[in-house]
Amino acid sequence: MSTALAEMPRSAPAPRQVSIATTRNLTKSYGAVVALRDFNLDVHAGELLALLGPNGAGKTTLVRTLLGVARPDSGRVSVFGDDPHQGRVQPRLGAMLQVGRVPETLRVREHIDLFSSYYPKPLPLQETFQIAGIEDIRDRPFGELSGGQKQRVLFGIAICGDPDLLFLDEPTVGLDVEARRLMWSQIRTLIARGKTVLLTTHYLNEADALADRILVLDKGSIVAEGTPAEIKARAMGKQVRCTSRLSLAEVQRIPGVLSVKADRNAFELQVNAAEPVVRELLQRDSWLGDLEVTNAGLEEAFLALTQNNHAEAANGRN
Amino acid sequence: MAAITFPAVAIAPRRTLSRTIALYAKEARYELLKNIRIPIYAISTVAFPVMFYVLFGIVLGSGNPANRNENATYMLATMGCFGVMAVALFGFGVSLAMERGQGWLQVKRASPMPVSAYFFGKLCSALTFSTVIMLLLLAIGYSFGGVRMPITTAARLVGILVAGAIPFSAMGMAIGYFAKPNSAPGLVNLIYLPMSFCSGLWIPLFLLPHGLRTFAKLLPPYHLSQLALNAVGMVNHPTPAWGHVEALLAFTLLCLGVAAWGYRRDEGKTYG
């Protein structure tokens, strides 16, 4: 069933977007390190919003603040119209957090049974086991599970209360490809059930595969926002490969060239748009050969987004 | 179109009373199960006081048959106190430090679990282990140390010492909010072993130097052991029990205050 859901096209976003979790001018520091800086967020009902960013971007801090576990230094946080720190909205929230160690001697079904008891209207245990894919390991102690199985149990803990808003903090970190695909299809099952999901990840392909909307975070601020397609278009640019008699310095001077790697007369250029650069190259060097234009990889795109931000920050300081 | 903020406070239905009771009961049950299944915890907290009681209360006291049962009764009170302390300090303090430092407490706090349920579970586990230890020590004293006392006296002794797990659970809570997961066990040992000795749990206070006897009055285990010794008629010049109860009460409040401070401090920090 979950595979069928996984292949289903995502429905178009609702015309009226209802924001169920918001932050306004949220700032949070740990000592001298600013984790979030004047952060404004809106999570819309029914969407899967991915927060994408490297370690230390502020993703986990944002999740913890929205859950009411961490307190903001300044700014407003609202979840379902209430301050999450007051502890009243938690019955409608579920969270899969990064955790160093889970009590290992309790069995899977005992963990799920306990967390289910915290919620006013939990799913039947059997249904939680099914959605999380942990039926076959329900009687095993947590300590004996593999990495992927442990993540699925934490996923089960997040969904067992049948919450309306789910926070998944790097749910597939450290998982192999197969376990990651399985987790993805489980996350899609949630969306099909009408849940709102806030996902953090540092894998661009994960955000691309799951999200309706992506926020790219770096150093506590949003550096890009849009649909996966928009983010890719904005960030990715193209990669141009060629052999040329031009010098490295000459190639670097061509407008629109972001970066160049040269190996003798073979060049590899990162560019925003390929056409003007290629035109320029051909004009300047009639011997130009082996021309090849490709889409930049997702990882390059991601790097470009966050590195631009770093460069701007560095320029700002100078 | 601009996003609008969710209009009204839409709070989930309140938990019914029966579900609340079930929640607390489950928390306690699973905390106990979790601890019973950790061999090092179950064995060390139960086996150590039993071993020391056999050694100090039974074997070393057997040389002089005249006061054999007296020695066994005395040590029943003091080793009982020692055992209860370990259960509370490790079961509450070390386990809190671990779960807090390794991020598990944060997972629980992110759920709708009432924080009080978490501590209730830990306290229930400590009280259960304390009861088991006391019953074991009583059985050993009765079988091998010639301990004889009316059942009401025995019940009072067990009651006092098991209730004594409460102030030390509070102490464990205070430690648990400040100790790092890896250093917590060492820290607890560093505090509680010397404190036990100085309170006269190993060697009766009247055999210790005068200075130490005065110092002991500042230590909570001294007050708990005096209450226990009082209950079994092992104090020559009984001081009023209320003094000891007050001391333990003040100590409990102090520890809870420190724990509350640590709890608030945690909210500004991140772990894991």
Rounded to two decimals, the ipTM of the complex is 0.89
| Same-domain status, A265 and A218 | no
| Same-domain status, A179 and A248 | no
Chain B residue with CA closest to A13: the answer is B1
CB within 8 Å of A31: residues ≥ 6 apart: none
| Same-domain status, A201 and A257 | no
Stretch A82-95: mean pLDDT: 92
**What phi and psi, each to the nearest 5 degrees, are found at residue B232?**
-105, 15
pLDDT attached to residue B235? 80
CA distance B197 to B187: 16
Which ranges of chain A would DSSP assign to H, the alpha helix?
Answer: 2-7, 59-67, 108-118, 125-132, 147-159, 177-192, 204-210, 228-236, 248-253, 274-284, 298-317
| Same-domain status, A50 and A19 | yes
| Same-domain status, A187 and A275 | no
pLDDT attached to residue A16? 60
Strands A213-218 and A48-52: parallel
A271: CATH? 3.30.70
Residue A254's nearest CA partner among A273, A235, A237 is A273
| Same-domain status, A200 and A102 | yes
CA dihedral defined by B31, B40, B87, B203, rounded to 10 degrees? 170
Last residue of a domain, one of A227, A253, A273: A227
Q: Which chain B residues touch A69 with a CB distance below 8 Å?
A: 106, 109-110, 267
**What phi and psi, each to the nearest 5 degrees, are found at residue A226?**
165, -175
| Same-domain status, A213 and A117 | yes
Q: Is the pLDDT of residue A183 over 80?
A: yes
B90-107 confidence digits (pLDDT tens): 999 999 999 999 999 999
Q: Is the pLDDT of residue A316 over 70?
A: no
Q: Is the pLDDT of residue A315 over 60?
A: no
| Same-domain status, A254 and A204 | no
Q: Which tokens is B170 given?
A: 């509070």
DSSP string across A125-183: HHHHHHHHT-GGGTTSBGGG--HHHHHHHHHHHHHTT--SEEEEESTTTT--HHHHHHH
| Same-domain status, A19 and A164 | yes
CB within 8 Å of B242: residues ≥ 6 apart: none
B9 touches chain A (CB under 8 A): yes
Q: Is the pLDDT of residue A188 over 90?
A: yes
pLDDT attached to residue A302? 65
B40 touches chain A (CB under 8 A): no
Q: Indicate the length of chain B as a whole number.
A: 272
- pTM score over 0.80: yes
CA distance A270 to B250: 70
Mutant choice from B15, B36, B108, B109 vs A, greatest count of A C-beta within 10 A: B109
CA distance B89 to B260: 17
CA distance A230 to A224: 10
State the smallest CA–CA distance between residue A190 and chain B in angstroms. 18
CA distance A63 to A128: 23
Stretch A128-141: mean pLDDT: 95
pLDDT band at A176 (very low <50, low <70, confident <90, very high): confident
Identify the burial level of B92 via C-beta atoms within 10 angstroms of its C-beta, where 0-12 means exposed, 13-18 middle and 19 or more buried: buried
Q: Is the pLDDT of residue A312 over 60?
A: no
Q: Which domain holds residue A288?
A: 234-317
State the smallest CA–CA distance between residue A77 and chain B in angstroms. 11
B111-157 confidence digits (pLDDT tens): 999 999 999 999 999 999 999 999 999 999 999 988 999 999 999 99
pLDDT attached to residue B236? 67
Coil, strand or helix at A36: strand
Q: Which chain A residues touch B91 with a CB distance below 8 Å?
A: none
Nearest by CB: A117 against B26, B269, B270: B26
H or E element at residue A199: strand A196-201
Mutant choice from A17, A69, A96 vs B, greatest count of B C-beta within 10 A: A69
Q: Which tokens is B205 given?
A: 């206070």
Judged by CB atoms closer than 8 Å, whether chains meet at A78 and B6 is answered as: yes
pLDDT band at B83 (very low <50, low <70, confident <90, very high): very high
pLDDT band at B29 (very low <50, low <70, confident <90, very high): very high
Q: Report yes or no on B254 lying in a domain.
A: yes
pLDDT band at A270 (very low <50, low <70, confident <90, very high): confident
Chain A residue with CA closest to B107: the answer is A97
A299 compared with A295, residue with greater pLDDT: A295
| Same-domain status, A51 and A175 | yes
Domains: count for chain A: 2
Q: Is the pLDDT of residue B5 over 60?
A: no
Judged by CB atoms closer than 8 Å, whether chains meet at A120 and B14 is answered as: yes
CA distance A146 to A156: 15
Q: Which domain holds residue B193?
A: 23-264
| Same-domain status, A130 and A219 | yes
Task: Look over chain B and give the mean of its residue pLDDT values, rounded to a whole number.
Answer: 89
Last residue of a domain, one of A167, A194, A227: A227
pLDDT attached to residue A5? 44
Stretch B223-244: mean pLDDT: 86
A51-67 confidence digits (pLDDT tens): 998 888 899 999 999 99
**Cβ neighbours, 10 Å, residue B194:** 11
Q: Is the pLDDT of residue B211 over 60?
A: yes
CA distance A86 to A93: 13
| Same-domain status, A250 and A220 | no
CA distances from B93 to A289, A318, B123 (A): 71, 50, 11
DSSP string across chain B: ---EE--S--PPPPPPHHHHHHHHHHHHHHHHHHHHT-HHHHHHHHHHHHHHIIIIIIIGGGG-GGGHHHHHHHHHHHHHHHHHHHHHIIIIIIHHHHHHHTTHHHHHHHTT--HHHHHHHHHHHHHHHHHHHHHHHHHHHHHHS-----HHHHHHHHHHHHHTHHHHHHHHHHHHTTS-TTTHHHHHHHHHHHHHHHTTSSS-GGGS-HHHHHHHTTSHHHHHHHHHHHHTT--SSPPPHHHHHHHHHHHHHHHHHHHHHHHHHHHT----
A154 touches chain B (CB under 8 A): yes
Most distant pair of Cα atoms in chain B: their distance: 93
A20 touches chain B (CB under 8 A): yes
State the smallest CA–CA distance between residue A67 and chain B in angstroms. 6
Domains: count for chain B: 1
Residue B30's nearest CA partner among B109, B117, B102, B97 is B117
Q: Report yes or no on B93 lying in a domain.
A: yes
CA distance B184 to B195: 16
Nearest by CB: A89 against B11, B19, B269: B11
Strands A18-30 and A33-44: antiparallel
Stretch A102-129: mean pLDDT: 96
A201 touches chain B (CB under 8 A): no
Q: Report yes or no on B9 lying in a domain.
A: no
- Distance between alpha carbon B145 and the CA centroid of its chain, in Å? 25
A201: CATH? 3.40.50.300
Dihedral (CA of B14, B18, B23, B28) sign: positive
Q: Is the pLDDT of residue B205 over 90?
A: no
pLDDT attached to residue A317? 42
DSSP string across B112-134: T--HHHHHHHHHHHHHHHHHHHH
Coil, strand or helix at A7: helix
Q: Report yes or no on B4 lying in a domain.
A: no
Residue A187's nearest CA partner among A230, A133, A106 is A133
Last residue of a domain, one of A209, A227, A245: A227
Q: Which of A102-106, A280-284, B169-173 has the lowest mean pLDDT?
A: A280-284
B268 touches chain A (CB under 8 A): yes
B48-80 confidence digits (pLDDT tens): 999 999 998 888 877 666 677 888 999 999 999
Coil, strand or helix at A19: strand
Q: Is the pLDDT of residue B3 over 70?
A: no
Which residue bears the tokens 């009432």?
A: B114
CB within 8 Å of B247: residues ≥ 6 apart: B220, B223
Residue B271's nearest CA partner among B101, B104, B110 is B101
A197-253 confidence digits (pLDDT tens): 999 998 888 898 999 999 999 889 998 888 988 887 766 677 888 998 888 888 888
B180 touches chain A (CB under 8 A): no
The answer to whether A153 and A132 are in contact (CB under 8 A) is: yes
**What phi and psi, each to the nearest 5 degrees, are found at residue B216?**
-55, -30
Nearest by CB: A99 against B6, B102, B113: B102
